[in-house]
């Protein structure tokens, strides 16, 4: 029953993200609103980590399975992707490297700030 309650909390935050996407005229996906709301709730203590931790761990564990439909869709679109394959691969590699570099720099900055405050 505890796991069901945790899933319901996550679903409620996701629903609020959907409502924000519907109400606000910004080009932001509902999932981003939902993640921002969850972060805000966790940081302010409205939701404690223990209230969603087991369900969140489960969702992270099954995340690779969630990519199967997208992979199948890409395989079905092979005729459209073949002519632009090289530019797409170059862009994906470049953006992946950029995201990894920025993530690493931000993480180092946060760790440095935490060490300075201790």
pLDDT (tens digit per residue) in 30-59:
999 999 999 999 999 999 999 999 999 999
User: Cα(73)–Cα(50) distance, rounded to whole angstroms?
Assistant: 36
- In tens, the pLDDT along 2-17 reads 999 999 999 999 999 9
66 SS3 class? helix
User: Cα(107)–Cα(103) distance, rounded to whole angstroms?
Assistant: 6
Q: Extract the tokens encoding 83.
A: 């002519």
Q: Extract the tokens encoding 35.
A: 């993640």
């Amino acid at each position: 029953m505890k796991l069901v309650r945790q899933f319901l909390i996550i679903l409620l935050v996701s629903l609020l993200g959907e409502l924000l996407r519907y109400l606000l005229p910004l080009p932001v996906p509902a999932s981003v609103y939902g993640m921002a709301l969850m972060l805000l709730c966790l940081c302010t203590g409205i939701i404690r980590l223990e209230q969603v931790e087991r369900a969140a761990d489960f969702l992270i564990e099954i995340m690779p399975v969630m990519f199967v439909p997208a992979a199948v869709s890409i395989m079905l679109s092979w005729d459209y992707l073949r002519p632009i394959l090289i530019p797409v691969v170059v862009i994906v590699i470049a953006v992946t490297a950029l995201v990894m570099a920025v993530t690493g720099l931000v993480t180092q900055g946060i760790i440095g700030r935490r060490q300075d405050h201790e």
